[in-house]
Amino acid sequence: MRFSVTITNNRTQWLLLSVVLISFASLIAASLFYERSRVIEEQRQRLITKARVVDENIVRQLEGVRNGLQSILADLEYFDHFKARQHLLGLRLKALSDAMPGVRTLNVLDASGTVIASNRAELAGKNFADRQYFTMLTQTPDPGDLYLSQPFASVLGAYSMNLVQVSTNEGGAIERVVTATLDPEFFQVLLSSVRFADDVWVALAHVKGVLALHLPERRDLLGVDLNTPGSLFRQHVDGAEPSSFLTGPVKTTGENAWMAQRTITAPHLRMRGALVVAAARSADRALEPWDQIAKLGLGVVALVSLISAVTLWQTQRNRARAMAVLAHEEALRHQAEQEVRQMAFYDALTHLPNRRLLLDRMSQQQAASVRHGRYSALLFLDLDGFKQLNDRHGHDRGDRLLEQVAQRLQGEIRQEDTAARWAGDEFIVMLSELSGDAEDASQRAAQVAAKILASLAREYDLDGLAYRCTASMGVALFGGEKEPLDEIIKRADKAMYQAKASGRNAFASAAPG
């Protein structure tokens, strides 16, 4: 700073210096107070956002599991017509569990609680009538509700939960029960994706208070009852809002923390039971950068009072560094959200659209086909002999085959068409608006089906193994009139089995819906 006059009086110089130092110290104090408030607010918003991201992704996962459970209940009557019902239904459950990320075990139980089919053959015949997730159905079983069990410890020591749906007879008594055991490893990946610092921890608990998952991993905390008087969990559950931000001591760790909690209810799923996700951070650890800045500011005021310009420059440089760190963390958060979205709508192995995205596109395409008066087609294909490849040469080569099949499918269709992985070694190709004439549309679909079969029948290179694999395919037209999506898929699936029965490496056309 330059002055227009020269000050020669020592007392005046000291008075002016005192004023400058007091003003500077006041400015530093105000700046530190603002920065501390900003850090607290920023951490609050980030933790609330992380909890919301987990909520949204878990709801999408619950929707997918509910759809899977409903499809199993809908298919039970079909499988009852087969003598090898248990075996065929077990294969169906295994295919579904393989295609549903986040689900470890699928069971179908009868009214007595006995497993009549499972994706894990060793569970068939076991009785689970004494399990909480079965006993809770006996009071008021409702086929429209999705039941969420409390966390329970598996034989491996991991805590998991079951999603349950029930079918009843005309008298309202339990007829069949379908359960899906959630895979804690899937939810660990989801929760770990929202941790933006090493001192941030994320937890998932049942609304009753039983802790099911904690990251960083703390097995000694799993199963702990959080629902104690005065706890942050109890304060959240007793509150009127589904989302909260609280500060105080954490029961599981004992540290003073900022905690964002969110109750996951998903009313549209009619879920009995709820989850609570918590994202928290140690207040002391989060304020460590601010503590350093405060000490630096006080040191600058005490030691370098005559060079205020240098002090100001140093403060600005530190702030620029802090903003750069925040910008970097924001970029990492955005990247993590994109990765979670990729996991939600695309198959991790083949990178094709998954079941959820396919059904969404089918719904839109059917509406467009009916509106424009043009037929579309659904090609349901299943690889022949895929299980033998896995058994003889291992799952790694089986995965390579699935990847190459996906590439060949994409190479044989138009940009406006969709190739998706349905389940296991099952794929679905949707051909959009082929023709306004049903016969012409059927011929065009048959041409594409023949091209795909020829492409898939070519030799594959599976990590040095020359291998040939064929496929069986069912073709179903849709779009002439509004039709449930599952009926379209069932028609194509039935035609696929007809093609497989006719000798494989062929396609068959389904009867009109």
**Does this chain's domain 40-283 share its CATH topology with 355-509?**
no
What is the predicted pLDDT for the residue at 321?
A: 77
Beta bridge partners of 109: 115, 177
CATH of domain 40-283: 3.30.450.20
pLDDT of residue 11: 67
Round to whole Å and give the CA distance between 352 and 45.
34
Confidence (pLDDT) at 87: 81
**Per-residue pLDDT at 1:** 44
In terms of C-beta density within 10 A (0-12 exposed, 13-18 middle, 19 or more buried), how is residue 421 classed?
A: buried
Domain boundaries of the chain, sorted by first residue: 10-39+287-341, 40-283, 355-509
At a CB cut-off of 8 Å and minimum separation 6, what does 483 contact? 366, 513
CA 253, CA 211: separation in Å to the nearest integer?
13
Q: Residue 2: its pLDDT value, please? A: 43
| Residue 378 · residue 478 · CB < 8 Å | yes
Report how far residue 276's alpha carbon sits from residue 210's, in angstroms, rounded to the nearest whole number. 10
pLDDT of residue 310: 67
What is the DSSP secondary-structure string of 216-238?
Answer: TT-GGGTT-B---TT-HHHHHHH
Look-up: residue for tokens 């805590």?
159
pLDDT in tens, 225-268: 898 888 899 999 998 899 999 988 887 777 888 999 999 988 88
| 3-state SS class at 511 | coil
Query: Which residues, in sequence order, are CB contacts of 474 under 8 Å at separation 6+?
Result: 379, 380, 381, 491, 492, 493, 494, 495, 496, 497, 498, 499, 507, 508, 509, 510
Which pLDDT belongs to residue 326?
78
DSSP 195: -
DSSP state of 170: T
List, run by run, the mean pLDDT of 10-residue segments along the chain (513 residues).
Answer: 46 76 86 87 91 91 91 83 78 88 90 90 89 83 90 72 90 90 88 88 91 87 87 89 90 83 89 91 85 84 70 62 75 68 82 94 93 94 93 92 95 94 95 93 95 95 92 93 92 95 92 75
Out of 3.40.50.10860, 3.40.50.300, 3.40.710.10, 3.30.70.270, the CATH code matching 355-509 is 3.30.70.270
